[in-house]
């Protein structure tokens, strides 16, 4: 198999989609990738989008000047890839970029993008890592970044997506073959949007690293950058939380709505639509679905449900939101954080002069501009993916109806190269689909290595998820401290609530601290009723950090195995400045 290709390979469990790792860049990490693609990927999605990811990654890196085509002769696995169904990023490649980038280090790069340096193997120098010409080009690229006043591709990309959204009703009435053609056609604009997103993400990371370095070297406080980036405003991934807060308040203030929610969320949407007193709420709820229907768990995967395709999952979030105290309003929190930011900004500027002040102002402006743009460009891609999702679902419904006991999900177990044959005779794929389902189920039961170097360990050796709770983890004593990365400054104390699935938040409510394995946008609303957030993994550009900064709540990421070591019901202190989590008391047995 070619390194770049994604094909079905037998791991002893049966065949499933995978790639071969790069020899030149041998270290891979689930850091960041686990947020974007937390579950086992589906064969159709990977084979349909592989070239998109490859070309977009290459174009973004080449445009920045950090690499040439000679650096990626092995193909897309230089950037990352899917291995035994799980998505990984290439840590070695990221470290090479850090080596070539003046003013940064491998440690800072790992912390910013991956949050994995504590677990990763030590850096091994390679003769081709350093490249003077690439470093010069990166300086020029960084200079351009500092001088950027607006990002012109954003409105153009939004217009492109709107055109596809307007075409969607017509596409959904087309023939099966035309649906397949549309899925292939949409990959070209997807590549363009993903290229822009990666370009913006790189500049956002560079700007934040530069700002952090200035705070560390000129102001003797690297964590000051976290305060300076608090409540930037206009951050797309945080916006749903503000809308859900208002819906939660509508429930809390309306006795009829409260009674309906008290009866449980199962079948809640149907009950609400039948209640006359709930029509204002349902109108706002429908507006929320129209605006944010593309978001949800594993939203990059077209096979997965979103808030729009599974509205009940939104009601579950509102159910937790309705119990939050009024002082937990995202707007109130944001206002406090904005005040702190303005004070810190004024103080920093008063302590700097000349070139140092100029560089600080430019890096701060770039950090704000590109951080906001990163979330906006991601939202734009997610909206286009949702168009592809709806096209796929229409095709899936049609083909499933032609197979005995056919299911909607069956389509995603077909390779892109098999689509044409599949729509002609779906029943011929019965055995393939059944076998691939079984293998995916087996892989889903196992925990992939967070980092691997060289060959991927055989999946049959991966620990089973059901055995994870039986594994012996360090026993915390009162006063013990777990260390991670500070994501948003501030200190909070509360009851730890271990939540491993955003659709099942349990009893998480006011006064609690959310402890999660990872976070994607579907977790965002759960931040609002909580006092603070602790996450097993994540870098300083991770979703949890960005959203917590907007909502003004202490956050610590990369606290390894926090969801296993911290017991539900424990009293803990979260210091979002130092990155420390302290056990205050244990839950009563």
- Residue 7, pLDDT > 50, answer yes
Q: What is the pLDDT of residue 112?
A: 67
Task: Specify the higher pLDDT residue, 575 or 334.
Answer: 575
Determine the Cα–Cα distance for residues 226 and 371; give it in Å rounded to an integer.
13
- Report whether 30 contacts 448 (CB < 8 A): yes
Mean per-residue pLDDT, 115-119 = 59
- Tokens 């949800």, residue? 296
Fold assignment, 481-585: Glucose Oxidase; domain 1 (3.50.30)
- Tokens 């909607």, residue? 408
Percent of the chain clearing pLDDT 70 (strictly above): 97
Q: What is the pLDDT of residue 470?
A: 64
Q: How confident is the model at residue 249 (pLDDT cuts 50, 70, 90)?
A: very high
- Residue 1, pLDDT > 70, answer no
Residue 43 is encoded by which pair of tokens? 């064969």
For the chain, give every domain's residue range: 7-165+389-443, 481-585
- Residue 374, pLDDT > 80, answer yes
Return the half-sphere exposure (C-beta side, CA atoms, 13 A cut-off) of residue 524.
29
Instruction: Compute φ and ψ for 87, nearest 5 degrees.
Output: -85, 135
Residue 588 is encoded by which pair of tokens? 């009563």
CA angle 24, 193, 174 (to 5 degrees): 115
Core vs surface per residue 75-109: b (16+ CB within 10 A) or e = bbbbbbbbbbbbbbbbbbbbbbbbbbbeebebebb
Residue 42 is encoded by which pair of tokens? 């589906």
- Residue 117, pLDDT > 70, answer no
What is the rounded average pLDDT for all residues in the chain? Answer: 89
**Least confident residue range of 35-44, 301-310, 475-484, 533-542:** 533-542
- Residue 309, pLDDT > 80, answer yes
Q: What is the pTM of this model?
A: 0.91
- Report whether 469 contacts 43 (CB < 8 A): no
């Amino acid at each position: 198999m070619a390194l770049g290709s994604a094909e079905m390979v037998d791991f002893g469990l049966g065949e499933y989609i995978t790639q071969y790792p790069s020899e030149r860049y041998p270290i891979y990490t689930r850091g960041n990738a686990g947020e974007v693609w937390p579950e086992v990927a589906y064969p159709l999605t990977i084979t349909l989008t592989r070239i998109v990811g490859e070309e977009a990654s290459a174009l973004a890196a080449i445009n920045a000047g950090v690499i040439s085509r000679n650096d990626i002769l092995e193909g897309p696995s230089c950037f990352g890839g899917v291995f035994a169904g799980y998505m990984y990023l290439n840590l070695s490649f990221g470290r090479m970029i850090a080596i070539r980038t003046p003013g940064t280090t491998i440690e800072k790069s790992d912390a910013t993008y991956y949050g994995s340096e504590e677990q990763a193997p030590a850096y091994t120098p390679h003769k081709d890592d350093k490249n003077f010409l690439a470093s010069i080009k990166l300086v020029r690229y960084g200079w351009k970044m500092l001088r950027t006043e607006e990002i012109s591709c954003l409105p153009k990309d939004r217009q492109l997506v709107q055109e596809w959204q307007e075409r969607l009703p017509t596409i959904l009435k087309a023939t099966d073959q035309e649906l397949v053609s549309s899925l292939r056609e949409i990959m070209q604009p997807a590549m363009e949007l993903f290229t822009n997103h990666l370009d913006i993400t790189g500049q956002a990371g560079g700007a934040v690293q530069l700002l952090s370095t200035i705070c560390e070297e000129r102001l003797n406080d690297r964590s000051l950058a976290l305060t300076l980036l608090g409540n930037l405003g206009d951050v797309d991934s945080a916006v749903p939380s503000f809308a859900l807060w208002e819906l939660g308040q509508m429930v809390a203030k309306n006795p009829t709505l409260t009674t309906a929610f008290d009866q449980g969320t199962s079948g809640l949407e149907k009950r609400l639509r039948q209640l006359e007193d709930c029509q204002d709420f349902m109108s706002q709820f429908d507006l929320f679905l129209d605006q944010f229907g593309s978001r949800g768990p594993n939203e990059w995967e077209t096979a997965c449900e979103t808030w729009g395709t599974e509205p009940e999952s939104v009601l579950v979030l509102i159910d937790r939101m309705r119990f939050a105290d009024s002082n937990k309003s995202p707007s109130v929190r944001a206002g406090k954080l904005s005040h702190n930011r303005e004070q810190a900004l004024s103080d920093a500027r008063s302590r700097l002069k000349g070139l140092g002040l100029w560089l600080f102002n430019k890096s701060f402006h770039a950090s704000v501009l590109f951080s906001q743009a990163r979330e906006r460009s991601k939202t734009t891609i997610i909206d286009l993916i949702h168009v592809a999702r709806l096209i796929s679902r229409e095709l899936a419904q049609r083909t499933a109806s032609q197979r005995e006991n056919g299911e909607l999900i069956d389509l995603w177990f077909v390779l892109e190269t098999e689509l044409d044959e599949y729509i002609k005779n779906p029943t011929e794929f019965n055995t393939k689909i059944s076998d691939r389902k079984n293998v995916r189920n087996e892989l889903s039961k196992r925990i992939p290595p967070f980092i691997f170097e060289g060959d991927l360990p055989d999946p049959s050796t991966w620990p089973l998820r059901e055995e994870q709770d039986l594994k012996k983890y360090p026993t915390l004593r009162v006063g013990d401290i777990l260390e991670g990365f500070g994501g948003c400054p501030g200190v909070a104390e509360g009851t730890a609530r271990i939540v491993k699935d955003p659709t099942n938040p349990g009893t998480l409510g006011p006064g609690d601290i959310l402890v999660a394995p990872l976070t994607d946008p579907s977790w965002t609303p759960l931040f609002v009723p909580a006092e603070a957030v602790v996450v097993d993994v994540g870098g300083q550009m991770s979703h949890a950090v960005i959203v917590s900064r907007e909502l003004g709540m202490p956050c610590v990421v990369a606290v390894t195995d926090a969801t296993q070591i911290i017991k539900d019901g424990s009293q803990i202190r979260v210091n979002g400045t130092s990155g420390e989590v302290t056990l205050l008391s244990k839950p009563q047995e």
